[in-house]
Structure 1
Amino acid sequence: MNPSRRLGVVVNPIKFDDLADVKEQIAKVCADHGWGEPVFVETTEEDPGVGQAHEALEAGVDIVCPLGGDGTVRAVATALVGTDTPMGLLPGGTGNLLARNLDLPVEKIGDALDVVLTGTDRRIDVGLVTLFPDSKSAEPLKGDDPPTEEDPRRDDEEVFLVMTGIGVDAEVMANTNEKVKGVLGWPAYVFAGISRMFTRGFMVELSTGGGDPQIQHARSVIVGNCGKLQGNVELMPDAKLDDGILDGVILAPKGAFGWGAVAADLASRHRRGHRQIVRMTSPAIRVTTGAPVETQVDGDPKGEQYGLSTRILPKALVVRVR
């Protein structure tokens, strides 16, 4: 019993019909485990969780838990990167993708809290992404100040924990109806995806820092820190959260037959293989396009961009696991 230990919870209030009941449930589980009264900080439209996570840290909590969607998880992680304070994962959104990739409970808050309060700490990698809102920003930077050990991120870099992508995957995120998602859960993305399968695609130049850039037509380019999607789909089966490497995949199917082949490849966990799926690994992956294309970061739509640049920050975040 250690009532001096406290949990910080950064909660997105719009995710819950009865937030008071959720808070009461969390407080009871904390008390049952001998922890003190948890500190709750609610996100706002202006701040999705970064400032709230810092507020929780200033209150002296021992662990900070995002309670919302994957966007709340990303915001809290942004505040915790480079610290020794662990992040605990509570299910509050549709995807809960980081928790799925860590094989943590994603159905019941109580089960997840048991892990948070009794589990062990694990250091995982963090992805950093710079978006290119115009063609000029997509040009390689020269002479910019490198990150320092005290501040490992540049001002133009955003944190991602799961995947960032450009193309069909981002179009699906941007066009999924929130009401439908609230009723159906993750299958709502499938319905949104069907309507995006027959878009024309785009030309992409991809560089991994070694050799000549690869130029080809694509429907989607995804860079991941881990590889599991909803429905237990392994998009990047070799991706690991602590290997210091990013995994990338270019999807370039043509028509319904091509998408069917891609689906068969994913369903067979890549035993069949397909020439319209190109894979790569590198600590840094840069993607540029000749025209603006819809983009997402950990499921958050970012609008049309001229590409993105990603790199890995090895073992920069502590996460509470089983």
Structure 2
Amino acid sequence: MTGRDATARATGEAFVPDDVGLVVNPVSGDGGGRSLARTFTDRYGGPVTRAVTRGPDDVGRATRELAGEVDLLVSVGGDGTLREVASALYRWRGEGGREPPALFVVPAGRGNSVHRYLYGETDWRALAERLGDGIVARPLELTRVGTEPPAEARYSVLGVTVGLFRHALDGAERFRALPGPLAYLLGTATATLFADPVAVRVGRADERLFAGEARLVAAGGGRYRGGTAQLLPDSRPGDGRLHALVIEPVGGREALDIARAARSGDHVGHRAVHYFTGDAFDVRAGAGTGAPDGTLPAEMDGTPLPDLTDLHCEVVPEALPVAYPADVVRSGQ
């Protein structure tokens, strides 16, 4: 890695990566991480350094080992793996004051919402073939997540949800014998129809935005959830804001109508849907709703969180650089 490349990443100029590293989760999705890593290497067409993780706690170590040695870092895994890579990169940046390598995503999970958020419908293999001709790094915000009970600050790419998608993850475990995307789809459908709502208060600074029962609360920067639902349709990579959504409980038929509308982002106009933007949001269990204080069934980037009573989400603008093929940027694709 050269100083020239670090300057190019910081200024958004095109550069050809000298050193490429892969952080590979071999068990992501249906266990195809190693195969996808080999495919990336073949499509990229140049030498790469590969770090295959040995478990969920190993992603941060592998990321930090590669961060100072490469100028393009590739996450091969699902949304949860990418969150761990992004968190480790951001902490590495803060500790040393160094510009982190540009980040590219090879989707290997069940939902792969981050890849679609960053690269749209373009197949990752086609993008990988063009990275070696030059890349442009564009900024991406993260969400800093604080919790009660207290825990070490977490960083998220997609953000946090309470209610529906946590129930969907729990439901997907009941269908784990099926392929990952199908299990998640069935888990989401079951949760949409049968999961209980959650009593919450959602606020922005000292302003109360919503208090009552919600089927779903979301706060973060990622536009997609479940790979296809445009849950936060106004969100764009690098916009420097957080987006928040609350969906109130409705009947089964209406819930399915909202789910269908979310595929195109048209659910925001529904009477039971509330949408907000800001720099920070708070979500509290039961507070101000007249319901007994309870817990928040929450998940972050597809990973379940322990039982919580409070969430605080705060935007971290321009936290990391994300790699795009230079010719894609020039053509405006």
SS at 1:89 equivalent: strand
Structure 2 gaps of 5+ residues are 1-14, 94-98, 286-292, 326-333
Q: Give the structure 1 partner of residue 155 of structure 2.
A: 159
CA–CA distance in structure 2, aligned partners of residues 194 and 18 of structure 1: 26
1:71/1:106 CA distance change after superposition, 3 Å: farther
Q: In the alignment, is the contact (CA less than 8 A) between 1:91 and 1:112 conserved in 2? A: no
Superposed displacement of residue 66, structure 1? 0.9
Q: Give the structure 2 partner of residue 9 of structure 1.
A: 22
Q: 2:116 aligns with which of 79, 100, 106?
A: 100
Superposed displacement of residue 4, structure 1? 8.8
Q: Give the structure 2 partner of residue 146 of structure 1.
A: none
CA–CA distance in structure 1, aligned partners of residues 187 and 241 of structure 2: 31
Q: 1:53 aligns with which of 57, 60, 63?
A: 63
CA–CA distance in structure 2, aligned partners of residues 4 and 232 of structure 1: 31
Q: In the alignment, is the contact (CA less than 8 A) between 1:181 and 1:189 conserved in 2? A: no
Name the structure with the higher helix share. 2
What is the CA RMSD across the aligned residues, in angstroms?
Answer: 2.8
Superposed displacement of residue 233, structure 1? 2.6
1:201/1:105 CA distance change after superposition, 3 Å: closer
Letter matched to residue 79 of structure 2:
D
Judge which range, 155-164 or 239-248, deviates more: 155-164
Superposed displacement of residue 309, structure 1? 0.8
Scaled by the length of structure 1, what TM-score is found? 0.81
Report the number of matched residues: 294
Within 5 Å, which residues of 2 pair with 1:190-201? 190-196=185-191, 197-201=193-197
1:116/1:216 CA distance change after superposition, 3 Å: farther
Q: 1:291 aligns with which of 283, 290, 294?
A: 294
Q: Give the structure 2 partner of residue 145 of structure 1.
A: none
Q: For each residue in 1:119-161, what CA deviation from the matched residue of structure 2 results, as whole angstroms up to 9, or x when unmatched?
A: 311011111111224xxx5xxxxxxxxxxxxxxxxx7211111
Q: In the alignment, is the contact (CA less than 8 A) between 2:296 and 2:309 conserved in 1? A: yes
1:231/1:39 CA distance change after superposition, 3 Å: closer
Letter matched to residue 100 of structure 1:
R
Q: In the alignment, is the contact (CA less than 8 A) between 2:160 and 2:218 conserved in 1? A: yes
Superposed displacement of residue 248, structure 1? 0.6
SS at 2:82 equivalent: helix
Q: In the alignment, is the contact (CA less than 8 A) between 2:23 and 2:63 conserved in 1? A: yes
1:28/1:186 CA distance change after superposition, 3 Å: closer
1:202/1:229 CA distance change after superposition, 3 Å: closer
1:62/1:190 CA distance change after superposition, 3 Å: same
SS at 2:309 equivalent: strand
Q: Percent identity?
A: 22
1:44 lines up with 2:54 in the alignment: yes
Q: 1:68 aligns with which of 51, 66, 77?
A: 77
CA–CA distance in structure 2, aligned partners of residues 252 and 20 of structure 1: 42
Q: Give the structure 1 partner of residue 272 of structure 2.
A: 276
Superposed displacement of residue 19, structure 1? 6.3
